[in-house]
Structure 1
Amino acid sequence: MISGVVLYAIAIFLLGISFQKNRSKTKKAIVKARKMMLNLLPDILSIMILVGLSLSILTPSFISAVIGDDSGIVGVILATILGSVALIPSFIVFPLGQTILHNGGGLPQVAVLMSTLMSVGVLTLPVEKKIFGSRFAYARNGAGIVMSLLFAVLVWGVWK
């Protein structure tokens, strides 16, 4: 697994190469990237705040009560809805999934929850639409939901 330090080192190295090849283009690219970052910063900060609040309100014990072993298809649907709220990175999702499983969550329900948490994001949709366009954003989120549900059906078939 590549750590953040390695990625930053590679980025700095490649930036140095770019700077040596063409200083003016590199400076223009840095200014443009800074401007893009500052334009997206309010949206990203609001998403981070909403995700943090959601994770503090929706505790693993509450989620496992709603999507436990006995919840069946209703639990899968609820897990799909809960997971579609925000795009969350895998280093947060995997420990959360393990905690929910240890608290009594059902395997298919947790599988769809984890899958949608990493592939669907209603809270991040405005930023995604701004960057990639509405058509792409809706198509990607729709495909994420469909693939997550297929994944849950597959897990359910193997598990049961």
Structure 2
Amino acid sequence: MSIKQRGKVSAKRAVERFFFLLPLVPGVLLIFSLMMQLLPDQPLQRFFGHDSALDALVGGLVGSLAMGQVFVGYLAGGELVRNGIGLATATALIVSWATVGLTFLPYEMRAYGNRFAIARNLLAFVSTLIIAYATALLLDLM
């Protein structure tokens, strides 16, 4: 199969996947909006506190443990920011949800080897924190 044919097949699969997931977005938004309305702001503010360094670390850990479709992380991060949680924290949650996979670590270790899987996850987590702070800093400057 040529590169051009593989590109067409990949593009077709991507479009199919997009339309397959599209109906889930309103339901996820509804659930997160409902959860944010039912949860009072005080516990969220207390849980994340006001120290952005520690908050981003906690957001990164929560995202690292999260399972499910990555787009849910985007929606969760947006809802957290809308409810007063810092941008660095939400960014750390989203990026770690997409890149760090602690729940899949045993599988990764078996498939790719212990050293590679652990190194990949550690580098992804450190990168998550750097990206979170850089994003928050750049958007504050704008």
Partner residue of 1:103? 83
**Structure 2: gaps spanning 5 or more residues:** 1-13, 21-34
Percent identity between matched residues is 24
Q: 1:147 aligns with which of 107, 127, 138?
A: 127
**Structure 1: gaps spanning 5 or more residues:** 8-58
The 3 A distance-change label for structure 1 pair 113 and 6 is: closer
The 3 A distance-change label for structure 1 pair 89 and 143 is: farther
Question: Structure 1: how far apart are the matches of 2:15 and 2:44?
Answer: 32
Question: Structure 1: how far apart are the matches of 2:108 and 2:16?
Answer: 25
TM-score, structure 2 length as denominator? 0.63
Partner residue of 1:35? none
Moved more, 113-122 or 83-92: 83-92
Alignment of 1:47-66 (within 5 A): 61=39, 64-65=44-45, 66=47
Q: Shift of the alpha carbon at 1:87?
A: 4.8
Structure 1 residue 91 and structure 2 residue 71: aligned?
A: yes
Structure 1 residue 4 and structure 2 residue 22: aligned?
A: no
> Looking at CA atoms only, which structure, 1 or 2, has the larger radius of gyration?
1
TM-score, structure 1 length as denominator? 0.57
* Amino acid in the other structure paired with 1:80: G
